[in-house]
Amino acid sequence: MIARARPIMLMALVAMALVLAACDGSQPLIKPKVKEPGPFPAADRPVANIVSSRWSTEEARDRLNEAARVMDLAEIRPGMTVADLGAGEGYYTTRLAARVGEDGRVLAEDIVPAVRDALAERVARERLENVSVRLGLPADARLPANSFDRILMVHMYHEIEQPYEFLWRLRPALRTGGLVVVVDADRSTRNHGTPPALLRCEFAAVGYAQVSFREMRSAGGYFATFRAAGERPEPEEIRACRMEGQANS
């Protein structure tokens, strides 16, 4: 009889301890769910479909000296940490790896799992030890904070469905003095480009300032850089850009 009473007494003591713990003013064991930021404004423009991870052969692009010219303009140097967003088959990833050298780092990101996997295989095959490959989300590149000297977006900005949320989440990843580099075509987003005025407006809406802009025919359009400026606005403070006639151009 005494042996049977012991488990009952033990359960009673545990229950009493839990009650006392709940009454001592300490924090609950279950943390409250953190509220996600937003909502963010929708883009007031068409969004281009992702048609292919390749828009030209690497040999053709190298004949135009594309990657070297972009990296020169972006002032990418040995030892830097660079993100290649929408990395695709790795045209820029592999060349960035050589430019930043063994003391630098390249993070290659894509939102298509099969493309990410193929790029990871190429990185392993070519033994690019300073490169890591990551799967991003359509509205979030998922980059670690305060980590990058340069973030490259080459011929992919017009494919971003939620540019304001994407740019808002991207901002903390820049180091002091870091730049976002955009290469795109000067045509409507429907036709796989981004008009420069629209690009400037969307970046400014999220607290970026344009640092440079120049035409770049060898890369199929233009080259632009942006830096974080001032405080990052709250999502509800962001106002969508409206470009008259952009949707039909």
Structure tokens at 157: 């900005």
Domains and CATH numbers, the chain: 58-248 (3.40.50.150)
Q: How far apart are CA 148 and CA 106, in angstroms?
A: 9
Q: What is the mean pLDDT of each run of 10 residues along the chain (249 residues)?
A: 51 50 52 74 84 64 86 98 97 97 98 97 98 97 97 95 97 98 94 94 97 85 96 95 60
Tokens of 206: 């999220």
φ, ψ at 82 (rounded to 5°): -130, 140
* 248 φ/ψ angles, rounded to the nearest 5 degrees: -105, 0
pLDDT of residue 11: 56
pLDDT the model gives residue 48: 79
Structure tokens at 129: 């030890």
Q: What is the pTM of this model?
A: 0.81
Q: What are phi and psi of 211, to 5 degrees?
A: -100, -40
